[in-house]
Amino acid sequence: MLLAGACLAAPQNAVAQDNSLFGSVETSVTDSIAGGSSQLSSIAGLAPYGQILSGGVKAHFIERSTFDGGELYVDDTLSWLGGSDGGMLSNSLAQGYVAISPLPELTLVVGKRRISWGAGYAFFPGDLINPPASPDNRSSGFYGILATIAPSASFTLTAAVRFDTAFPALSTLTGSTSTAVGVDPSSLPFLAAYLPTIPDNPWLSLRYALYADMLFGNLDLYAATTYQYSSVLRPAAGFSLDLGGVIANGEVAVEFSNSSLYPVASSTAFEHPAFGTPYPIFTVGLQRTVTSDAGSYAITAEYLYDGMGYTAAQEGTVCGDLLQALSAISGSTSAAKLRAAYASADASSSAWFSSGSVIPAFGRHYVAVSLSASAGTAFEATAAALVNLQDGSFAVQPELRLSWQSGVELFTRAVVAWGPNDHSEFGLLPTPVTVTTGAVVHF
């Protein structure tokens, strides 16, 4: 009834007045230069530096159709990943929703939608409503409903209910499932018994968020809260401020529903270390863009502190005891995998700056740095780095991009991961150096 009524409303605040379809087709090949084993056999005879990890074609399209009082929005990627087994076709719906505006100040959204959260570049400590980003689905939204009210251009309030926390099958409808930590905790059987299970009543697993954004002069302030019964209660607040061309930003969140587990005395006795005890997560950052005759340059730096739900001493116990236990079972010494499995799935929802890679939920201190330089619109060089200050490991992603006005781009990028030892976060990656080369045609 509400939908029907809204559809009849005049298009007073329809943002887009027409329909548009745009996107890109990309083909690329990813090689490993060092380490790792081939997941796919080589295709097209291209294996100049090592074994080809993947190669294929990706079609990304965004379609926006407006109607009286609303719009339909679809952001979808269809991928074909080649290999000796004939290849794999997959689809990933990042966003797909209907937005209606029964009043000029009110917008209702039903479907899969992402809330644009905060003012950060790499880290979003309070954002537990959007799914964690993943390399395959970098801007995925959540299935749910949203209502946004904007009484003025300087104040908006969004309320959201997320369904796919209660009905995980929704996420698999479009092949967009991603995990926060990059490892499936259930693959560690002796931990599985201690991990949270889906409750009998899925309605208790709905997740709620309130997000308010206010602009005072050149100070942008926001406040938010995410809540899920017996799982998440994380209020957050943040800001961004233009300091004469330098953009400063910060966000602090406090998790009140600490659901971490740690071993009491041995690896077989677990309990919540600080149940009901809040722990903080915060980030601060700076960004500066300089334009000159030769081109433009931008630098971004952001620091993240993650309280993780347990103390450093407890973490030592966790790693020590569990490492010993796991070593005894499997012979592996993967401390980071243990930490990742140990943290709750939502302990960190941060996304690696610009690349969309996942930050695993271990490590307390991180820095993300990004540098970019462009000459006109034809050439762009960027480098993004994520450093785990706790263990000294890092991942760097340099990229070169050549563009033509016709909409054709050539690119090459590398991901270089390094750690001082095989217990460090990025020292554990199976392919320390990968190079992706490809071409994109935009339409």
Partner 1 sequence: MRNLYLGMIIIILCAFTSTLYGQDLTAEQIVRKAEQSVYPDNFVMRATIETLKSGEVESHMDMEIRYKRDTGTRIELLAPARSHGVRFLQKEGNLWMFNPRAGSGQAIRLSPRASFQGTVFSNRDVGDPQYTTEYTVRVVGRESIDVQGSGQVDAIVVEGIARNAQVAYAKVRLWIRAKDYMILKAEYFAKSGLPFKTVEFTNIRRLAGKERPSVLRMLSMDQKDRVSIMTIHDLVEDPAMADAIFTLSALTR
Which residues 265-304 are close enough to bind partner 1 by CB under 8 A?
287-291, 293, 295-296
At its nearest, how many Å lie between partner 1 and the CB of residue 393?
24
Does position 364 interact with partner 1 (CB under 8 A)? The reply is: no
Residues 168-227 that bind partner 1 (CB under 8 A): 213, 215, 217-218, 220
In angstroms, the CA 257 to CA 231 distance is 6
C-alpha distances in angstroms, 317 versus 168, 262, 263?
Answer: 33, 8, 7
Which of these segments, 131-139, 183-191, 250-258, 308-316, binds partner 1 (CB under 8 A)? 131-139
Helix 335-342 vs helix 312-330: angle between axes, to the nearest 10 degrees? 120
Please, which residue, 269 or 439, has the CB nearer to partner 1? 439
Closer residue to partner 1, CB minimum distance, 188 or 247: 247
Residue among 14 and 206 whose Cβ is closer to partner 1: 14
The answer to whether the beta carbons of residues 58 and 16 sit under 8 Å apart is no
Q: Is 20 in the site for partner 1 (CB under 8 A)?
A: yes
CB of 142 to partner 1, least distance (A): 11
Rounded Cα distance, 397 and 352, in Å: 11
With beta carbons less than 8 A apart as the criterion, state whether 128 and 115 touch. no
* 47: phi then psi, degrees, rounded to nearest 5: -150, 60
Q: Is 139 in the site for partner 1 (CB under 8 A)?
A: yes
Half-sphere exposure of 55 (CA within 13 A, CB side): 22
Least distance (Å) between residue 225 CB and partner 1: 17
Q: Does 328 bind partner 1 (CB under 8 A)?
A: no
* Residues from 91 through 120 that contact partner 1 (CB under 8 A): 94-95, 99, 101, 104-105, 107, 114, 116-119
**Residue 392 identity (one-letter amino acid):** G
Site residues for partner 1, 389-428, by CB under 8 A, read 403, 405-407, 409
| Nearest CB to partner 1, comparing residues 116 and 186 | 116
Kindly state whether residue 27 participates in binding partner 1, applying the rule CB under 8 A.
Answer: no
Is 331 among the residues that bind partner 1 (CB under 8 A)? no
Give yes or no for residue 381 binding partner 1 (CB under 8 A): no
Contact region with partner 1 (CB under 8 A), list: 71-79, 181-189, 227-235, 384-392: 71-79
- Taking the CA atoms of 309, 311, 314 and 318 in sequence, report the sign of the dihedral they define: positive
Query: Residues in contact with partner 1, total (CB under 8 A)?
Result: 75
* CB of residue 267 to partner 1, shortest distance in Å: 39
The window from 188-196, 237-245, 323-331, 385-393 that contacts partner 1 (CB under 8 A) reads: 237-245
Binding mask 332-361 for partner 1 (x = CB under 8 A): -------------------x--x-x-----
In the range 35-64, which residues lie near partner 1 by CB under 8 A? Answer: 60, 62
41-50, Cβ contacts within 8 angstroms, sequence gap of 24 or more: 41/83, 41/84, 43/82, 43/83, 44/82, 49/435
Among 50, 73, 306, 338, binds partner 1 (CB under 8 A): 73
Least separation in angstroms between CB 113 and partner 1: 8
Name the minimum Å distance from CB 285 to partner 1: 11
